[in-house]
């Protein structure tokens, strides 16, 4: 009877496990081997620094990161962490990075709205004062905040990397409205905009953001080649750090916790065997 | 809590206290000397696991509440502040979020064990009903808790679930307005949800006390389903089951830790890291995995009110289960036919969970068949959920009542010790074992 049930269950699982073909193709997602993959993964500091530069010089023109402060950049695991400055507010590099950016403030003497150079404790300033202003400058589209974008999209950093490198010329037969750009990695369904063969709908979707990256657009201080691939990879890693800044602490803590639990489990198992030794059960 | 006490106060202060408030005696009788069947297997360790999970959820939750801000403008950012700026906030929040999933995983195994070994049958009906109440309170708490981070899935999940009550005739709209504290899911909703999310766990804790009380009156069921006949059948809870439960808890903690430290977001949904926006509806609104079977039942019915009633009916069915199962034999070890139907039931529940996460109209295999049955293609998740829903209800309302009267169970052992002593591992060579009685 048991065997029959297991066979039935296996049959059911095989039935369910067969791939369901969707009506339209899935967007292209390219996998990257990240330094932070796996249980021992760590952030690549140089990569985070390059990624911050891409964000600051390219993305920050339209995208806010309002959950981040400059001090975060110098915290443990962050791009500009320096063990000499455990309090990242004292980190001179972070201070100078902040100083280059103007943030809005109120003059304490006159009450006037002013701007001043940022301090490490300041949040990253937003490029637009409010949502209507952001929309007005971007053809009606709202550039999303990037603070936790790497956790807010299926695929995380792989998705961001794929999107950044997924811009293609629209295939003939795909009708795009003005201000739309074809991207093979964007989540979407192009069936209604596709004039060609219905079984060959192109993958991906349309995005309002024009291709943000270009070869040579950012000059990396460490001499890394400034290709679109490199920029995309680095900024994706940076955004993953921004979304999950405690990842390294988490994995290190996890290693200790797992070793402790494993030891405890083995200890309990042998205690169990010993205590139950003389009981028939 | 029952039977005569073996506690003997040893020190003066214990004797003094024992004549005034016998709390040490109570603890001794409940957690140390309580006679427990000696043949409990690892399926019985989930009660202890659940007690620990409740404790973890309470402790982490109370700390989270110190930092969380229940306001539509600040809730999302306050959760992120916990993740970034509160010392070990990431650990506490990930423990709490994944703890909910682990809690449900354990409760489902605990319930499945109950169904298999017939633990809900007389004299444990009240124990079972208290368990169902705990489960119901857990579902309410988990749903409300998922709303608090105020992400996209929080908000739109809250809209969908609270709107279910709106399907009720006449009283539907007033009930939803009352739940929301207004005419839409908004700040008053979030505020009261936070309040209730803090209250309900203590309700659960109170129910757990009753649950343990109700357990300690008849004592544990056991894999044979046979009542305890003599002291030979039992061992004291401590150290025998403290160490066995302890081992199982440690294994369960390893699983829990692997989620918390290495895959903290895998059981959640990416959309919940997008701040709630009432004007943008996510492409697919999906509840957490532990609600998916009920979500599939809800969507299996084309009529909204019908779906709501059937979904609540699935939970209500559990409450009357002790009176639906007509079999006198508790354990399915001795009910081979019922066992087969039981495994199909487990499969049907898993299928429902699987369907709940899919789009109803998507094909289950390959391309749509083109054969329409009523409102949907027969090769679609909605039809698969309908078949599984039908089996879910048939199992409780037809199969269990009828089977108990018609099946011929295998011979049941005289006592717990009988099959225990004939266990191959403990039987001397040459002795007659009865392997056909083993499950």
SS3 B38: coil
- Number of A to B CB contacts under 8 A, please give it: 125
Q: Note the pLDDT of residue B307.
A: 95
In A, minimum Cα distance to B41 occurs at A281
What is d(CA B433, CA B45) in angstroms, rounded to the nearest whole number?
27
**Nearest chain A Cα to B350, which residue?**
A13
The CATH number linked to A180 is 1.10.760.10
**Nearest residue, CB atoms, B364 vs list A20, A272, A279:** A20
Q: Which residues pair with A115 in a beta bridge?
A: A104
Residues of A in contact with B258 (CB under 8 A): 258
State yes or no: pLDDT of A135 exceeds 60.
Answer: yes
Query: Any chain B CB within 8 A of the CB of A168?
Result: no
What is the biggest distance separating any 2 CA atoms in chain A, rounded to whole angstroms? 86
All residues of chain B having their beta carbon less than 8 Å from the beta carbon of residue A15 are 364-365
Residue the block writes with tokens 């940022």? A118
Partner A, chain B 120-139, Cβ-Cβ below 8 Å: none
Pairwise CA distance, residues A273 & B105, whole Å = 27
Whether B261 and A253 lie within 8 Å, measured CB to CB: yes
> Rounded to whole angstroms, how far apart are CA atoms A208 and A158?
20
Give the pTM: 0.91
CA B332 to chain centre: 21
Dist CA B291 CA B309 (whole Å):
16
φ, ψ (nearest 5 deg) of residue A256: -60, -45
How far is the CA of B125 from the CAs of A158, B318, B325, B400, in angstroms? Answer: 52, 11, 12, 16
Q: Is A1 an interface residue toward B (CB < 8 Å)?
A: yes
Is residue A269 assigned to a domain? yes
Q: In B, residues 348-407, which contact A (CB 8 Å cutoff)?
A: 351, 354, 358, 362-367
Comparing A17-26, A228-237, B65-74, the range with the smallest average pLDDT is A17-26
Which residues numbered 175-194 in A keep a CB inside 8 Å of some CB on B? 187
Quick one: pLDDT at residue B437? 44
Q: Nearest by CB to A281, which of B253, B254, B420?
A: B420
What distance in Å separates the CA atoms of residue B232 and residue B38, rounded to the nearest whole number?
9
Token pair listed for B112: 């499945």
A 128-147 residues with CB < 8 A to B? 144, 147
Cα four-point dihedral sign A111, A113, A118, A122: positive
The reported pLDDT for the residue numbered A193 is 87
A180-193 in b/e form (b: 16+ CB < 10 A) is bbbbbbbbbbbeeb
Smallest CA–CA distance from A65 into chain B, residue = B77
* Residues of B in Cβ contact (< 8 Å) with A40: none
Total domains in the fold of chain A: 1
B247 and A9 in contact by Cβ < 8 A?
no
Are B340 and A5 within 8 A, CB to CB? yes
- Count the alpha carbons within 13 Å of A28 in the hemisphere toward its beta carbon: 16
Contact with chain A for residue B246, Cβ under 8 A: yes
CB < 8 Å to B254, chain A: 258, 261-262, 265
Q: Is the peptide bond before B249 cis (omega within 30 degrees of 0)?
A: no
Cα torsion B394, B400, B405, B406 to 10°: value is: 70
Residues of A in contact with B420 (CB under 8 A): 280-281
A243 domain-assigned:
yes
B265 vs A contacts (CB less than 8 Å): 151
Q: Minimal Cα–Cα distance from B195 to chain A, Å?
A: 26
- Give the Cα separation of A124 and A134 in Å (integer): 16
Is A20 at the interface with chain B, CB within 8 A? yes
Structure confidence at residue A149 (pLDDT):
97
Burial class (CB in 10 A: 0-12, 13-18, 19+), B50: buried
Q: How far is A149 from chain B (nearest CA, A)?
A: 7
In this predicted structure, what is the pLDDT of residue B424? 52
Bridge-partner residues for A182, per DSSP?
A206
Query: Does A138 fall in a domain?
Result: yes
Question: A76 and chain B: CB distance < 8 Å anywhere?
Answer: no
* Residue A273 CB neighbours (<10 A): 11
Q: Do A257 and B38 touch (CB under 8 A)?
A: no
Is the CB of A8 less than 8 angstroms away from the CB of B423? Answer: no
- B347: how many CB neighbours lie within 10 A of its CB? 19
Residue A17 falls inside a structural domain: no
Give contacts of B 77-116 with A, CB under 8 A: 77, 80, 83-84, 90-91, 94
* Residue B145 contacts residue B152 (beta carbons within 8 Å): no
Pairwise CB contact (< 8 Å): A16 & B250: no
Task: Please give, one letter per residue, the 3-state secondary structure of chain A.
Answer: CHHHHHHHHHHHHHHHHCCCCCCCCCCCCCCCCCCCCCCCCCCCHHHHHHHHHHHHHCHHHCCCCCCCEHHHHCCCCCCCCCCCCCCHHHCHHHHHHHHCCEEEEECCCCCCEEEEECCCCCECCCCCCCHHHHHHHCCCCCCCCCCCCCCCCCCHHHHHHHHHCCECCCCCCECCCCCCEEECCCCCCCHHHECCCHHHCCCCEEECCCCCCCCCCCCCCCCCCCCHHHHHHHHHHHHHHHHCCCHHHHHHHHHHHHHHHHHHHHHHHHHHHHHCCCCCC
- Using the Cβ of A278 and the Cβ atoms of chain B, whether some distance falls under 8 Å is answered with no
The Cα–Cα gap between A229 and A209 comes to 18
**pLDDT score of B433:** 43
Angle at B319 between CA B305 and CA B411, to 5 degrees: 130
The ranges of chain B with pLDDT < 50 are: 1-2, 426-439
pLDDT at A141: 93
For B272-281, letters b (16+ CB in 10 Å) and e give bbbbbeeeee
What's the confidence (pLDDT) of residue A200?
Answer: 86
Which structure tokens are listed for B283? 């492409």
Q: Which residues of A touch B251 (CB under 8 A)?
A: 265
Question: How confident is the model at residue A15, as a pLDDT?
Answer: 44
| Structural domain that includes position A96 | 23-274
| CA-based torsion, A192, A194, A200, A202: positive or negative | negative
Assess if residue A182 is contained within a domain: yes
> Strand, helix or coil at B182?
coil
CB neighbours of B424 closer than 8 A, spacing ≥ 6?
B433, B435
CA–CA separation, A245 and A242 (whole Å): 6
Chain A residues with beta carbon closer than 8 angstroms to that of B337: 1
Mutation site, B39, B112, B154, B247, interface A, largest A CB count within 10 A: B247
Which chain B residues are within 8 Å of A20, Cβ to Cβ?
Answer: 358, 362-366
Instruction: Test B423 with A280 for CB contact under 8 angstroms.
Output: yes
Sign of the CA dihedral running B303, B307, B310, B316: negative
| Main-chain dihedrals φ then ψ at residue B265, nearest 5 degrees | -110, 5
What was the pLDDT predicted at B3?
A: 57
Judged by CB atoms closer than 8 Å, whether chains meet at B80 and A148 is answered as: yes
From the list A9, A154, A251, which residue is nearest B343 (CB)? A9
pLDDT number for residue A21: 42
The rounded distance, in Å, linking the Cα atoms of B340 and B399 is 11
CB A181 within 8 A of CB A207: yes
Q: Which two tokens stand for residue B432?
A: 């007659």
Nearest Cβ partner for B240 among A245, A268, A275: A275
Does B62 contact A at CB distance below 8 Å? no
> Cα–Cα distance between A164 and A47 in angstroms, integer?
16
- Does residue B415 belong to the interface with chain A, where contact is any CB pair within 8 Å? no
Q: In terms of Cα–Cα distance, which of B164, B48, B154 is closest to B97?
A: B154
A12 falls within a domain: no
d(CA A191, CA B360): 20
Residues in A touching B261 (Cβ below 8 Å): 39, 250-251, 253-255, 257-258
């Amino acid at each position: 009877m048991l065997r029959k049930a297991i066979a039935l269950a296996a049959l059911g699982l095989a039935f369910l496990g067969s791939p369901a073909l969707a009506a339209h193709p899935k967007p292209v997602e390219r996998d990257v081997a990240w330094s932070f993959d796996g249980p021992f993964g760590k952030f690549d500091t140089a990569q985070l620094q390059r990624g911050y530069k891409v964000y600051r010089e390219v993305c920050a023109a339209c995208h806010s990161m309002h959950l981040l402060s400059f001090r975060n950049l110098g915290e443990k695991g962050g791009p500009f962490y320096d063990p000499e400055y455990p309090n990242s507010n004292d980190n001179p590099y972070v201070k100078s990075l902040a100083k280059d950016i103007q943030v809005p403030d109120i003059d304490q003497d006159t009450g006037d709205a002013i701007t001043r150079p940022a301090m490490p404790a300041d949040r990253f300033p937003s490029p637009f004062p409010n949502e209507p202003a952001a929309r007005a400058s971007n053809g009606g589209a709202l550039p999303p905040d990037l603070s936790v974008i790497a956790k807010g999209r299926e695929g995380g950093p792989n998705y961001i990397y794929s999107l950044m490198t997924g811009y293609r010329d629209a295939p003939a037969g795909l009708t795009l409205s003005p201000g739309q750009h074809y991207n093979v990695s964007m989540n979407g369904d192009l069936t209604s905009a596709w004039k060609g063969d219905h079984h060959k709908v192109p993958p991906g979707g349309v995005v309002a953001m024009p291709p943000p990256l270009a070869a040579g657009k950012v000059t990396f201080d460490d001499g890394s080649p400034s290709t679109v691939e490199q920029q995309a990879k680095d900024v994706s890693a940076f955004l993953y750090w921004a979304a999950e800044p405690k990842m390294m602490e988490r994995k290190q803590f996890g290693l200790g916790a797992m070793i402790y639990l494993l030891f405890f489990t083995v200890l309990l198992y042998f205690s169990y065997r010993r205590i139950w030794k003389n009981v028939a059960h | 809590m029952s039977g005569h006490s073996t506690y003997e106060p040893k020190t003066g202060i214990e004797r003094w206290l024992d004549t005034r408030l016998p709390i040490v005696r109570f603890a001794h009788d409940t957690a140390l000397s309580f006679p427990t069947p000696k043949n409990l297997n690892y399926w019985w360790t989930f009660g202890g696991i659940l007690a620990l999970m409740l404790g973890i959820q309470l402790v982490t939750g109370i700390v989270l509440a110190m930092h969380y801000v229940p306001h539509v403008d600040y809730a999302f950012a306050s959760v992120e502040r916990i993740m970034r700026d509160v010392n070990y906030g990431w650990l506490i929040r990930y423990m709490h979020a994944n703890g909910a999933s682990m809690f449900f995983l354990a409760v489902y195994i605990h319930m499945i064990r109950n169904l298999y070994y017939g633990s809900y049958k007389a004299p444990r009906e009240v124990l079972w009903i208290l368990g169902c109440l705990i489960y119901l309170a857990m579902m309410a708490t988990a749903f409300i808790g998922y709303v608090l981070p105020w992400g996209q899935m929080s908000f739109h999940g809250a809209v969908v679930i609270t709107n279910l009550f709106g399907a009720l005739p006449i009283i539907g709209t007033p009930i939803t307005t009352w739940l929301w504290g207004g005419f839409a899911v908004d700040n008053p909703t979030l505020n009261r949800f936070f309040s209730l999310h803090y209250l309900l766990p203590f309700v659960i804790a109170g129910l757990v006390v009753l649950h343990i009380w109700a357990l300690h009156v008849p004592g544990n069921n056991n894999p044979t389903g046979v009542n305890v006949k003599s002291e030979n059948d039992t061992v004291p809870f401590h150290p025998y089951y403290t160490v066995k439960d302890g081992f199982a808890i440690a294994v369960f903690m390893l699983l829990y830790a692997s989620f918390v430290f290495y895959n903290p977001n895998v059981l959640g949904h990416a959309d919940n890291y997008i701040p709630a926006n009432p004007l943008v509806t996510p492409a697919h609104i999906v509840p957490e995995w532990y609600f998916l079977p009920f979500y599939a039942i809800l969507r299996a019915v084309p009529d909204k009110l019908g779906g709501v009633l059937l979904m609540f009916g699935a939970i209500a069915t559990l409450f009357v289960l002790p009176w639906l199962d007509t079999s006198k034999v508790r354990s399915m070890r001795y009910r081979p036919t019922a066992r087969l139907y039981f495994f199909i039931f487990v499969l049907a529940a898993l299928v429902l969970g699987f369907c709940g996460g899919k789009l109803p109209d998507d094909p289950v295999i390959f391309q749509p068949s083109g054969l329409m049955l009523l409102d949907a293609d027969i090769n679609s998740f909605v039809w698969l959920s309908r078949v599984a829903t039908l089996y879910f209800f048939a199992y409780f309302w037809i199969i269990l009542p009828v089977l108990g009267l018609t099946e011929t169970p295998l011979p049941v052992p005289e006592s717990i010790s009988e099959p225990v002593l004939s266990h191959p591992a403990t039987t001397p060579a040459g002795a007659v074992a009865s392997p056909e009685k083993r499950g």
